[in-house]
Structure 1
Amino acid sequence: MPGTESTTIPWHAAYPTPDTVVKATSREEVLELMKQGAKDYILVDLRRADHEGGLIRGSINLPAQSVYPSIPTLYRLLKAAGIVKVIWYCASSRGRGPRAAAWFDDYLAKCGEADMQSLILSGGIKGWVKAGDEYVSWMDEYDASVWTRE
Structure 2
Amino acid sequence: MTDFAPWHAAFPSPQTTAPLIKRDEALSLLSSPEFLLVDVRRTDYEGGTIRGSLNLPAQSFYMNRAVLHRLCKAAGVKRIAFYCGSSNGRGPRCAGWFADWLMQQGEEDMESLTLEGGIKGWVKAGPEYEIEVDGFEAEYWRQFE
TM-score past 0.5 threshold? yes
Q: Distance in 2 between matches of 1:84 and 1:73?
A: 15
1:103-129, Cα deviation, whole Å (9 max, x unpaired): 000000000000100000000000000
- Aligned: 1:31 with 2:27: yes
Aligned-partner SS, 2:60: helix
1:67-101, Cα deviation, whole Å (9 max, x unpaired): 00011111111111100000100000000000000
Matched to 2:24, the amino acid is E
Q: State the partner residue of 2:95.
A: 101
Q: Of residues 127, 136, 139 in structure 2, which corresponds to 1:133?
A: 127
Q: Distance in 2 between matches of 1:149 and 1:24?
A: 25
CA-CA distance at 1:137 after TM superposition: 0.8
Q: Of residues 33, 45, 68 in structure 2, which corresponds to 1:74?
A: 68
Pairwise CA RMSD? 0.9
Segments of structure 2 that go 5 or more residues without pairing to the other structure are none
Aligned-partner SS, 1:30: helix
Counting only pairs closer than 5 Å after superposition, residues 34-49 of structure 1 correspond to structure 2 as 34=30, 37-49=31-43
Q: Distance in 2 between matches of 1:90 and 1:135?
A: 16
Matched to 1:18, the amino acid is P
Largest Rg, 1 or 2: 1
Matched to 1:75, the amino acid is H
- Aligned: 1:84 with 2:78: yes
Matched to 1:90, the amino acid is C
Q: Distance in 2 between matches of 1:57 and 1:11?
A: 27
Aligned length: 144
CA-CA distance at 1:24 after TM superposition: 0.3
1:6-57, Cα deviation, whole Å (9 max, x unpaired): 11111100000111111000000011112xx311111000111111100100
Moved over 4 A (4+): none
Q: State the partner residue of 1:18.
A: 14
Aligned-partner SS, 1:38: coil
Q: State the partner residue of 1:149.
A: 143
- For normalisation by structure 2, the TM-score amounts to 0.97
